[in-house]
Amino acid sequence: MTKLIRASILAVTTLVFLIGCAEVPLTERKGLHLVPESQMLTLSLQQYDNVLKEATLSKDQEKVNMVKRVGNRIAGAAEVFLRDSGLEHTIKDYQWEFNLIEDDKMVNAWCMPGGKVAVYTGILPYTRDETGLAVVMGHEVAHALARHGSERVSQGLLVSMGGIALAVALREKPSTTQNLFMAAFGVGASVGILLPYSRVHEYEADRIGLTLMARAGYDPRAAVPFWERMMKQGGARPPEFLSTHPATEGRIDQIKKFIPEALPYYEKSRK
């Protein structure tokens, strides 16, 4: 079983590396992208429009203005950051948009490829102020800049292709054996490929997000108390190795290590 799974994953991974890789800004990690960026942008715009049609947008103009103000400063910093890195072409088709959705039970925010950002009112008690909001929005915009959405889609395709390859290899085996092998492949792919990559994405977004907020004139040290407040939110969390997000304690430790890299940009913005 192990040899078949390894052979399937190796074959598909080799194919993927031949098709295309892209470098993540700042971290310089190579990411896998099987879906054209133009297609990702089209799908993202459609999904964003669908969300807004079903959502209730906040009418609290003060909070709405804060979201747009922080978003525009983060977006401007992102454009300069990518230009300095020689990667400005990666967001040439971005059309930034920032909306505050009225949902006090949803502690969340996200940024789709193309620069479409949504913040839910439920996260505002944890951000508390403009700088805390910059922590969140810098992190979410960083996901888009690093093309994590595209990479996640590509990973799903990779797993599907690996599963198909394994099914072909097992077609001569009894059905019970096939089912057992395919179940093992599914667990191995989730724990061994998809979830670890999700944690990598979160750490990358933290690191890049701190640089973005610092370039935008927000103190990156505010990230630590923000995540401490999130940790006090409570609720059961799965073990880190089975979670798509790093355990909060470990995340705070990593953020503390990233802050010295971002802090000079904040200090420069104050001069």
3-state helix, strand, coil in the chain (%, to 5): 70, 10, 25
202 annotated active-site: no
**Exposed, middle or buried by CB within 10 Å (0-12, 13-18, 19+), for 59?**
exposed
The 10 Å CB-count burial string (b at 16+, else e) for 225-261 is ebbeebeeeeeeeeeeeeeeebbbeebbeebeebbee
Q: What is the pLDDT of residue 117?
A: 94
Residues 155-212: pLDDT tens digits? 665 555 554 444 444 455 556 554 544 444 444 444 443 444 577 888 999 999 999 9
Residues 57-94: pLDDT tens digits? 999 999 999 999 999 999 999 999 999 988 888 888 89
Report d(CA 182, CA 202) in Å as an integer: 29
Q: What is the pLDDT of residue 100?
A: 98
What percentage of the chain exceeds 90 in pLDDT? 43
Q: CA–CA distance from 127 to each of 69, 138, 210, 266 (Å)? A: 15, 12, 15, 19
| Active-site pick, 37, 54, 88, 140 | 140
pLDDT at 267 over 80: yes
Q: Which residue has the higher pLDDT, 64 or 229?
A: 64
Report d(CA 102, CA 122) in Å as an integer: 8
